[in-house]
Amino acid sequence: MKDEAINKGIVAKVEALDIRLIRYLYCDLAGVIRGKTVHASQFPKKISEGVGLTRAQNAVNLFEELVPVEGMEPVGEVRIIPDPETFTILPWVDRTAGMFSDLLEQDGSEWGGCTRSVLKRAIDFAAKQGIEVMAAFETEFYLAEEREGGPIPWKDAPVYSSSGMDRASEVMNSIVDNLTTQGIIVEQAINEYGPGQQEIAIKYDNALRAADLHLKFRDTVRGTAEVEFGLLASLAPKPFPNGVGSGAHLHFSLWSIENKTNLFYNPKDPTKLSELGLNFVAGVLDHLPGLLALTCPSYVSHHRLKPHSWAGTTISWGYDNRECAVRVASPFNGREMESINLELKTCDGSTNPYLALAGLILAGLDGVARKLKPPLPAHRDPEYLTNEEKTLCQIRPLPSSHLEALEALEKDVLLTNGLGELMTRAYLATRRAENAKAKLEGDEWARLATFSTF
């Protein structure tokens, strides 16, 4: 009855605001936001029954190749069923709204190819332990102009400078306005290191909503820049070969469902992690090689993962250490319990946020279940530690290539069980096909293709 009432309210809003088109959106295995559009005249029925989608669509990879995957052939359909709680009016296009959706079997049961369902299962697993996961993506992106020889950065200024804020102010103000109109709380908006590079941080929320909000963020940044200003916006991990890469740093904390308290908080030392937080870090580090295939999933992702780039190139952690893969963010005075959180640096804008968060939750909770202890935290850039310090901190290299990360994922039973059998097969097949295509066409071709997608 609750869902029926919500649906009726949304239908009434569509009629009252004279909305013409409603987008039923989802994020596929390649991290691409796709969907179908329903006309308002059909919306009262389609809001509950959804629309049809061929199973084969989720076997289309990042480079738009249909990859043969058993169970994802162009035979049979699933349903795109929108989540009414994600409904928003899209401010940069006329008379259009959007909702993020689940891909379900025709009878309403779960389908193994739905990435949003993977995160829902991980959230349920945490909830059974009395834990709610809160998260937010802190995302860097480039604004660019299309030129005959390819895109070039739009504007330039010193990082964090007032001149940089001025030069991008018109575009950034419009992006922030369009985010705010959709109910997304913006915490910071700054110009970053690269020419034309910007960053916007949005407020944390529960894990499912955090993933939905990140996808809304992506569409809003791209749509506002393109439709309102004729500019390109790219969240790709390495938009320009000689430029600074872009991350989508994943901040997260665990909260007690019963007590509404942050389980990472250590009352004995508010600047340090709790015992459970340390267990969670150890679990993430233990599974990080395979997790990397979900959080830095594209061929071009590995062009960003270089030493001294604040991206994290080693299996390492530290307190406010931006060269480690996992950073403990220092809490704010007076709000230590609420604000202490972890940041996964090895995450970029080509990720599917549902899969990234699901993998992170499962990896960390495995560390909690096994009571794993992390090594000593790195007190400086891991590259500059002595050999003895590297041993004490157990510094190890991350997979150095796209294929190595996929191999690590395939061997990680915890993560592949979390994905499910069909998802695992499809993910490995489509990503390996991307790798083959990128190597055939070359790094520059892959960079430009990824630039235009994210």
The CA-based diameter of the chain, rounded to the nearest angstrom, is 69
Per the CB < 8 A criterion, the answer to whether 349 and 236 are in contact is yes
Query: Distance between CA atoms of 257 and 263, rounded to whole angstroms?
Result: 10
**Which domains, ranges and CATH numbers included, belong to the chain?**
2-113 (3.10.20.70), 121-453 (3.30.590.10)
pLDDT of residue 2: 60
Q: Which helix (H) or strand (E) holds 436?
A: helix 421-441
pLDDT of residue 441: 96
Contacts of residue 302, defined as CB under 8 A and 6 or more positions apart, other chains included, come to 296, 400, 401, 402, 405
Residue 247 has pLDDT above 80, yes or no: yes
Residue 343, CB-side half-sphere exposure with 13 Å CA sphere = 26
Burial class (CB in 10 A: 0-12, 13-18, 19+), 64: exposed
Beta bridge partners of 320: none
Mean pLDDT of 254-278: 95
351-360 pLDDT, tens digit per residue, is 999 999 999 9
**Quick one: pLDDT band at residue 135, thresholds 50, 70, 90?**
very high
Beta bridge partners of 38: 22
Query: Distance between CA atoms of 409 and 424, rounded to whole angstroms?
Result: 9
pLDDT, mean over the chain: 95
Residue 1 has pLDDT above 60, yes or no: no
175-233 pLDDT, tens digit per residue, is 999 999 999 999 999 988 888 999 999 999 999 999 999 999 999 999 999 999 999 99
370-384 pLDDT, tens digit per residue, is 999 999 999 999 999
Mean pLDDT of 132-147: 95
Q: Which two tokens stand for residue 374?
A: 């992390």
pLDDT of residue 157: 82
